[in-house]
Structures are given as C-alpha cells and as structure tokens.
Structure 1
Amino acid sequence: MVSSSHEALHRIFQKDPGLFARAARNLGVAFPPPLSTTELSTDLTETQPLERRVDTLLRMDTEDGSFVLAVESQSEPAPDKPASWAYYLAHVYAKYRVPPVLLVVCADRRTAAWAAQQVDIGPRQWPSLTLRPLVLGPDDVPVIASPDEAARDIPLTVLSAALHRRDPDADAILNALAKALKGLSADDESTAGTFIELMEQGLGKTPAADIWRHLMAVDLSFFQSETAQKLRAEGREEGREEGLAEGRAKDILLLLGHRGVEVTEEDRDRIVGCGDLDVLGLWFTKALTATSTAEIFASAGGAGTAD
C-alpha cells in the first residue's frame, strides 16, 4: 500500500514544478526554471503488445561474478537504436537482477565508430542514464591469416573473416580458416558444418563469399553437410554461367570480326567483361546486322550497363 508520505514527496512537484530547479541547486546542478509544464500520464504500462528482441542474450557466470551479455549486430547507423538498447539493458536488469553488458558487432567501420559513442540520456546538467556499448568492428578484431592461429581459435577466425569481409585481407583469412577446418577430425564434421554455415552467412553478398564457395569446392570438398553441399552446388552453377558468358562474348567478337565491324579495345573489354547472358544475347542478335558497336550497345536500351 502506498503511504501518504510517499505521495507527498512526489506530489509537491505537481503542485510547484519550479521546485525541482530550486531544490536541485542544493545538489550542485543548475537546471533553468521551466517556462511551461505539462502533466503526463503516470501509467507506463504498454497498452498494446510490443515485441522487443535483442539479437543474443547470454548469462555469464565468472569468478568475478555474473553478468548478462546482450549482443546486437548492427549493419548501419540508426538514430532510434540507442533508445532501444537502453530499454533492453534496463529491462534485462529489472528482470534478472544481474548487471547487463551491451556488445555491438559491426562489419562496417563507419557504423562501428557511430555505435561506440557514449550516449547520455537526460538533460545535459544531469544525464540519468549513460549508454556505453562495447563495440567490435573491423579494426577491433585481428586479421587471422595463419592456419595454425586459425586452428587455435576457429570461432574467432570466423568472426575475423566476417568483419574483414570487404578488406583485401579477407582472402588470407578464409584460406587460413579452410586449412584449419580441414585439420579437424571426422568426428568434428558437425561442428565444422556449423562454422561453415556461419561463415557463409557472415560474408553476405561480397566477393569474399565467392572465394569461400571456391574453397568449399576444392579444399573442403570432403565435408558432406547440407550447407557444404549447397555452397559447392552454387559454386558449380556460377562457374557454368561464367563459362556460357565467356563463350557468348567470344561468339559476338568472332561475328563482328567476320562482318568487318570495327571493335575498339574498350568495346572488346566491355563485351568480354559482361557476365549477363541476357545482355549478351541482345548484343549477339544485333551484331548480326549492326554496322557499328555503338548500334549494338544502344540497342540494349541501357541493359549494357548490367555488366
């Protein structure tokens, strides 16, 4: 039951909102007096169900005590995220009564720099909450390019490759990881399959993903997990399409040469560099009657930019 003394200690501020600024001076904090005040509903219950999910939530029990680790994967800056993260941490602390820690993992350097900023929630005179995420970005996880080092910590190597997926070092990390996985025993295939799948997901749609599929087809061809077989199948399909595109480009150049149509070095590079079979098909059809490469490229209605 709420006592009358409890009520008095907060209702006095309803009666005179300016009291807050005057009383706060005794704490050494200078708030300006309010120009106007609006009384809001004190009911903070959410009237509609609102689903909030942190990406990963782990209770960690250590020699120094316990804490709850909330892990968020962030691909780009989002102005609303700090408020959500503060909500997550407050809710976790209220629910489990265990200190929370927020870890934000970013594969993009700009996003990592944004996420690492301390966020003070409240007036500048006295922030009530301070959000201090731990952030792991490409510059915070080392490049693991040695197979021996990769074998000592395969999960860290997977994280290293995922965070450096757009960097020139990605190739070396993936090769080191493939050799480390190759050294696992037959009994570890299910574990290796998990890392293979996580690596595929972590690379996204980057050139590094093509390197990983190639490694799956060559160095890790003995793995029979569903993910491994899927990656190999995708690699074979990509290889087949590349072969068809290369053959079609050669056909176009042979046809133009036979018809005496001048082909500059720039035109040749454009034709050979195009990997879109539909565009190459249009170019081949027009090459049957065109008197210049300009007619061929213009005929695609802009499709030539697809290469």
Structure 2
Amino acid sequence: MVSSPHEAMHRIFQHDTKLFSRVSKVLGCDIPVPDSVTILPTDLTETGPVERRVDTLLRLDSAEHGDFLLAIEAQGNKNLAKPASWAYYTAYLWSKYRLPTALMVVVQDHATAAWAQQPVASGPPQLPTLTIRPLVAGPHNMPVITDPAEAGEDLVLATLAAITHAGDPAIGDILKALSTALRDQPEVVADPIIELIAQGLGKRSANKLWRNLVAVDLSFYKSDLAEEIRDEGRAEGSVNTYGTVILTVLEQRGIDVPADVRERIAECRDLGLLHTWLVRAATALSAAEIFADE
C-alpha cells in the first residue's frame, strides 16, 4: 500500500514543477530553471499484463540547455527489485519520448539513501550495458532549515527538506520554522504546504507536533488539516462535557461513584454511548447500572 509520506515526497514536484532546479543546486548538479515544465502521464504500462507506474514524471523544456524527462520516485526503504524497475522506467521513457531521461529518488532515512545512491548495472561486471545511477535527495544532503526567514525564502524547498528530515532529531525546530514562515502567507500558498507536510510526516510522532503547530500558530487557516484538528477539538469538548454531566447527575442523586466507574467514563470517546449512560444515570440505583447490558 502506498503510504502518505511516499505520496508527499514526489507530489511536491507536481505542486511546484520548477522545484527540481532548486533541489539540483542543493544536490550539487545545478540544473538551470527550464523555460517550461509539463507533468506527463505516469502510466508506463505496455500492451502486456504487467502494470508499471513511475511516481511523478516531468518534461523540462529549455531552449538554451535542451529538453529532458525527469522521473521522480519516492522510496521508503531498501528494495532490491527497484533498480530493475528504475532501469525499465528510464529505458522505456527514453525510447517512447526520444528524450534524455533522468531519475531522482527521494528518501527519508540515511540507510535508504546510501543504498539508492549505489550504481547498479543490468549486465555482468565486464558488460555493464545499462547502469542506473539515480540522483538521491534525502536527509544526507537536504538542508536542515530551522530559521523562519530562510524557510520563507523558498517555502516549497523548505517543505521538501522537512519531509526528508522527518526522522531527524531537529524536526521540531524545522517544523516550528515552517509554521512561523507560513503565518504571513495567503491561504492559497499555505494550505497545500500544510497538507503536504502532514502527509509527508505520515505516522511519525512529528506529525502530532505539526498538528499542534497548525492548531496554535496557523489557527486562522481553513485547510483540511486545520479543519480536521478543529473538529477533533469540538468532539473532544463534547466528550468531556458528557462525562462531567454524567458524574454530576450521579453525585447529585447521592449515588457513590467508584474510581473504576469514573475511569471508564473518562476513557470513553463514543458520544452515542455517553448519551446512553447519561439517560441511565437519571434513574440508576448504582453507578454500575449505567453500564447495564454491556
């Protein structure tokens, strides 16, 4: 199953199609900004039954420096079968479009970066007919941006850097710099970045930190993530209110409420069940009776 970090690591290049030129400078190959960039179909399936799809495919056109294709792959971990797939992608694209084809792999950990950087030849050692040597972007070479001013200079590049450093000990400072830099941005700029970062962090603990920063620093935005956080807050408030009312009803009726009952009410997050318990609390002869038939 494709993970949300996987999607964020390559879709960001669709969000800002000229991002690669800025990333290439960071990675030391300095590809000039193209005159235009076209997002191409990613389906590389032929008439046979095997389906093959590259993650993101761009055509970079430049009158001065020539045109070429850029295939972008997001890689979550080592996969020994991948170099063969990458070789297929680049050879097929080269053959189909008759354009030079480059491959960039985006990763989130040092071990995967070290593996992905190694050249792999399709032929035997004495005949390395086709060699795959992708450009790799990851925590080993992307900048750690903890200065809001620096993040604000190129928000999309800073976003990609944050995603590649999702497991870095400095991720808290990185995310805080980004949330600060986004405060003065219009929603049309901030919204996709907020969502890309949340997607790129996936299930890591840093995602909770980002959600907290969005809730506090960027509370005025109406992005999907911000609305989701607000909905969670409203639901949590309703849950807490129900729990308080149930205990109040029982106590006002002079019914003893043991610690285990209080704990069970406090831990419940089902509004429908809490409503049932509240109705029962009005007539129950003991606190335990509100849990009848459960």
- TM-score normalised over the length of structure 2: 0.63
**In the alignment, which residue of structure 2 is the partner of 1:191?**
189
Cα deviations across residues 24-62 of structure 1 (Å, max 9, x unaligned)? xxxxxxxxxxxxxxxxxxxxx977322211000001123
**In the alignment, which residue of structure 2 is the partner of 1:48?**
48
> Secondary structure of the equivalent of 1:65?
coil
Alignment counterpart, residue 226 of structure 2, candidates 225, 228, 246: 228
- If asked which structure has higher relative contact order (CA below 8 Å, sep 6+), I would say 2
Q: Are the equivalent residues in 2 in contact too, given 1:60–1:67 (CA < 8 A)?
A: yes
Q: Which amino acid aligns with 1:94?
A: S
Kindly report which structure 2 residues correspond to 1:63-212, keeping only aligned pairs within 5 A, or say none. Answer: 63-184=64-185, 188-212=186-210
Shift of 1:111: 0.8
Q: Are the equivalent residues in 2 in contact too, given 1:102–1:134 (CA < 8 A)?
A: yes
Q: Are the equivalent residues in 2 in contact too, given 1:217–1:235 (CA < 8 A)?
A: no
CA distance in 2, matches of 1:85, 1:199: 26
Q: Are the equivalent residues in 1 in contact too, given 2:195–2:224 (CA < 8 A)?
A: no
> Secondary structure of the equivalent of 2:67?
strand
Q: Which amino acid aligns with 2:183?
A: K
- How many equivalent pairs are there? 205
CA distance in 1, matches of 2:138, 2:230: 29
> Secondary structure of the equivalent of 1:104?
strand
The list of structure 1 runs, each at least 4 consecutive aligned residues, that deviate by more than 3 angstroms after superposition, is: 45-48, 231-242
Q: Are the equivalent residues in 2 in contact too, given 1:107–1:137 (CA < 8 A)?
A: yes
> Secondary structure of the equivalent of 2:79?
coil
Gaps of 5+ in 2: 1-44, 241-257, 261-265, 269-294
Higher mean C-alpha deviation, range 217-226 or range 47-56: 47-56
Identity level (%) = 52
Q: Are the equivalent residues in 1 in contact too, given 2:195–2:223 (CA < 8 A)?
A: no
Which structure has the greater CA radius of gyration? Answer: 1
> Secondary structure of the equivalent of 1:160?
helix
Shift of 1:165: 1.3
- TM-score normalised over the length of structure 1: 0.61
Gaps of 5+ in 1: 1-44, 243-253, 257-275, 279-307
Q: Which amino acid aligns with 1:122?
A: G
> Secondary structure of the equivalent of 1:101?
strand
Shift of 1:156: 1.2
CA distance in 2, matches of 1:175, 1:101: 34
Cα deviations across residues 102-155 of structure 1 (Å, max 9, x unaligned)? 000000211111101000110211111111100011011010101100100101
